[in-house]
Structure 1
Amino acid sequence: MFSLILHGRRSLELQKWRNLRTSVSILQNAFAFSNSFSSANTGDVSLRGNALAVSYLVKSLGLTTTLAESISRKVSFEDNVNPDSVLKLLKSHGFNDSQISKIITAYPRLLITDAEKSLGPKLQILKSRGGSKSELTEIVSTVPKILGKKGEKSISLYYDFIKDIMHDDGKSSKYEKLGHSWPEGKKGNRIRNIWLLRELGVPHKLLFPLLISTGQPICGKEKFEETVKKVVDMGFDPTKSKFVEALHVVYEMSNKTVEEKVAVYKRLGFSEDDIWAIFKKWPFFLKFSEKKIMQMFETLKKCGLVEEEVLAVLKTRPQCIRVSEKKILDSIETFLSLGFSRDEFTMILKGYPPCIAYSAQMIKQKFKFLVKKMNWSLEDVVLVPPVLGYSLEKRIVPRCNVIKALMSKGLMGSENPPISSVLLCTDQGFLNRYVMKHDKLVPELMAIFTGDRVS
């Protein structure tokens, strides 16, 4: 009887959230309907192109479905002819499969570039700069967007500069010695500023996206230098990605705008110390509009959080601000449809805020494995919500397969160990706890653990 009452209560909660979600999207649906006749054919073509792109990326490049789906939102195509030509051309210039996957992941639009008229000539320009084939493939796979530059002079300039940085032996560079010969304007500023950042210790993986980017902040001169000084004075470490994030934010926002954003957060209950502590954790925290900030605050309250809990969530995981209201309502509906109560969802949200950004497919896959296949209870997941953030393929499945193997041999009894003892520890901690103590079974258990085998 209790289970029937519980099921009925959860059904009512699910219906309640579905009604809320429907009310939020009424205007969107009405707008979509008014445009349906003009956009239907385009939408069908786009869906076909996206589906083909996902299939192609998985089969031809060995990408995961999740990554392929993400890339397909940036580029789609109706047939394999041009993508095949691009891959064939890259291979003919010495790029291996791993490098090609890296290039396409970073610069997916390359798949729809004309291989003969655009990509081929650019590769020939780079090849003419001298150096070995391995040097060419290393530089392009490190900075794929160099293939998006136009004009022989521009492509050559950036290629030579990247090569100089990558292979610098610590001695004075030709760019230091011949600073007076840098090109004028934005290109010269860009190279000068990148060199300054390199001298500060900014690593290559952060420098090169800035070099190729068409945006700010590295195109200026005086303002750039002023911004770098501010960011350094704030205590950001140049070797970390947050330094570059802060560089973007400080460069693009006036002092007045920053003061206005700080005022919004203070009205919501954050102290000034809180605000700057969060900024150090995630600089883009100050980039959102007042409307977006207020909307997120109210949406989290709808999730069952009181004001103090909303503040705590945003202090812990400020990235939640960028999640749309629709995404959050979809997340609530997904959890309720799986049998979690509203109070349980609230507990999960407080314990692991990133869950509101996950797709329904991801949540359902992990729920199916943890609860349906491994027989852990809903309460187990509620008590340890970070397990929802772990990779199925790399962490959850290999460890659980080891546990099932031990149980099948009668070495663990009939019930699973606590979910926290299996999934929260490090790999070495797991191996010490469940593998190494079984001397005769270590080879077999290690094969299961490293084989990513789903049983």
Structure 2
Amino acid sequence: MFSLILNGRKSHELHQWRNLLSPFLPPFANPFSSATTSDLTPEEDQKQKTFTVSYLINSLGLTPKLAESISTKANFTDKQNPDSVLKLLRSYGFTDPQISTIITTYPRFLVENPEKTLRAKLHFLKLNGASSSELTEIVSKVPKILGRRGHVSITSYFDYVKEILQDQDIKQTNRTRNVSVLRELGVPHKLLLNLLITKAKPVCGKERFEESVKKIIAMGFDPTSKKFVNALYVFYELSEKTIEEKVGVYKKLGFSVDEVWAIFKKWPYLLKYSEKKITQTFETLRECGLTEEEVRVVVKKYPECVGTSEEKIVSSVETFVKLGFTGEEALMIIKRHPQCIGLASDTVRSKIVFLVEEMGWSLKDVASTPIVLGCSLEKFILPRCNVIRALISRGLIGEVPAISSTLTSPKQRFLKYFVERHEEVLPELISIFNGDRFTVASRSNHQAFKCIM
């Protein structure tokens, strides 16, 4: 099945994806040529983003980094529409910090007609009994309400959130009693909300709810984590007999009962899949070239792979081979960092192009340290690599260090060896590491270094 995959083409195919990196290149990199998918020229696009960042900083007091992040999702060169949005929200009593939360969640409101996207929803909530204080508190804490469509959906969502956030005495139905129990255990509001609006509604029962919570607590789940809620879904929805049957499927595949429950604690949805789906995933991984023991190791490391489609698994292996990795190296990547199975192929290609063609590491280097493929190119890989290339260009180090030293060492160790020790250019290195557009030469070295610690 995979004979063609494992005889894939070599690294010259990296050139086919050079254009994928263009949005992420650092200022001093050699840019690749690529056609923009927007009607705007790069200069016009940058002008819009610059205006948007400046507007958000001056109008809402956002940090430059947050404003920059929002500008990638919605930008403009005219303040008329965003002014209308801010004016509308303020007219309903929202404070600037609350507005910042809403805009961060839904940047598109800045470029859409506020009369159509906001006023109708806020007005409807007011008409249905929401006081001004309730409206601003609940909407700012759960902006997702404003993303709901339809009056019934908006009202139901609002009532659920209100029920969670309020501490006043209310009629003790199963749902409110169970919510109180979970709140006392420390389950966060946002997770309680998800429990209330799901179709399964595991908090609406009584005996099953109590039994499920007891089991979860006995297993040591942290009530503040999403895994606690996921485990509640599983125990509430599945009977004891069904759970035993699912555990039995994994036993047939070579796991011990203790191993199954250990994996369950990492990823509770492990028990939700059918026997057919579980065995199909195992068979697909074996057909890729993994031994039965290696498949079990992969599942222990990344149990989410059980829910991954056959096509996705095959595509992951194909992607690595097409990029020039040998079949053995592709399997090494999967075994050492199974999370790579879940990565989008375009994302993987972009990172490989940069790491190999721009930084000079070999495909073998990447295969031996595949965890780097799970790191963000823009937020993690580029800042560190930009520092390394700046050091090389200034003659402060002779060559690119090992990929493990650059991309897998803890932040403090990286700063110590590649930033802090070069005091003569320390402010510049800090600026590069932070991705700043301004210089920090006016600060003392100590103050400048503290800003990234």
The alignment's TM-score, normalised by the length of structure 2, stands at 0.72
Equivalence map 1:372-451=2 (5 Å): 372-413=357-398, 415-451=399-435
Contact 2:164/2:179 (<8 A) preserved: no
Contact 2:333/2:367 (<8 A) preserved: yes
The code of the aligned residue for 2:133 comes to G
Separation in 1, partners of 2:282, 2:264: 17
Higher relative contact order (CA 8 A, sep 6+): 2
Separation in 2, partners of 1:11, 1:224: 48
Separation in 2, partners of 1:128, 1:410: 64
The code of the aligned residue for 1:243 comes to F
CA drift of 1:356 comes to 1.3
Which residue of structure 2 lines up, in the alignment, with residue 169 of structure 1? none
Instruction: Find out whether 1:174 has 2:168 as its counterpart.
Output: yes
Which residue of structure 1 lines up, in the alignment, with residue 102 of structure 2? 99
Alpha-carbon RMSD across the aligned residues, in angstroms, is 3.8
The code of the aligned residue for 2:103 comes to I
CA-to-aligned-CA distance 1:108-166 (integer Å, 9 cap, x gap) = xx9999648962433324784242775254234276678877289856643542432xx
Separation in 2, partners of 1:111, 1:267: 58
Which residue of structure 2 lines up, in the alignment, with residue 229 of structure 1? 214
Which residue of structure 2 lines up, in the alignment, with residue 138 of structure 1? 140
Separation in 2, partners of 1:431, 1:209: 40
Change (3 A) 1:452 1:271: farther
> Percent of pairs identical after alignment?
48
Change (3 A) 1:92 1:332: farther
Separation in 1, partners of 2:142, 2:121: 12
Separation in 2, partners of 1:323, 1:363: 17
Q: Which has the higher helix share?
A: 1
Contact 1:317/1:353 (<8 A) preserved: yes
Which residue of structure 2 lines up, in the alignment, with residue 239 of structure 1? 224
Instruction: Find out whether 1:197 has 2:199 as its counterpart.
Output: no
Equivalence map 1:5-24=2 (5 Å): 13-14=7-8
Equivalence map 1:334-349=2 (5 Å): 334-349=319-334
Separation in 2, partners of 1:238, 1:394: 30
Contact 1:10/1:336 (<8 A) preserved: no
Separation in 2, partners of 1:274, 1:393: 37
Which residue of structure 2 lines up, in the alignment, with residue 367 of structure 1? 352
Separation in 1, partners of 2:405, 2:154: 58
Which residue of structure 2 lines up, in the alignment, with residue 52 of structure 1? none
More moved, 130-139 vs 359-368: 130-139
The code of the aligned residue for 2:338 comes to P
The code of the aligned residue for 2:410 comes to T
Change (3 A) 1:217 1:132: closer
The alignment's TM-score, normalised by the length of structure 1, stands at 0.71
Separation in 1, partners of 2:308, 2:114: 30
Separation in 2, partners of 1:99, 1:255: 43
Change (3 A) 1:137 1:127: farther
Separation in 1, partners of 2:227, 2:182: 14
More moved, 133-142 vs 360-369: 133-142
CA drift of 1:376 comes to 0.5
Q: How many residues align?
A: 370
Change (3 A) 1:130 1:317: same
Contact 2:139/2:146 (<8 A) preserved: no
SS state of the match for residue 96, structure 1?
helix
- Residue among 352, 356, 362 paired with 2:337: 352
Equivalence map 1:16-415=2 (5 Å): 93=92, 94=94, 96-102=99-105, 115=117, 119-125=121-127, 128-131=130-133, 134-141=136-143, 150=152, 157-164=159-166, 173-175=167-169, 179=170, 181-182=171-172, 188-413=173-398, 415=399
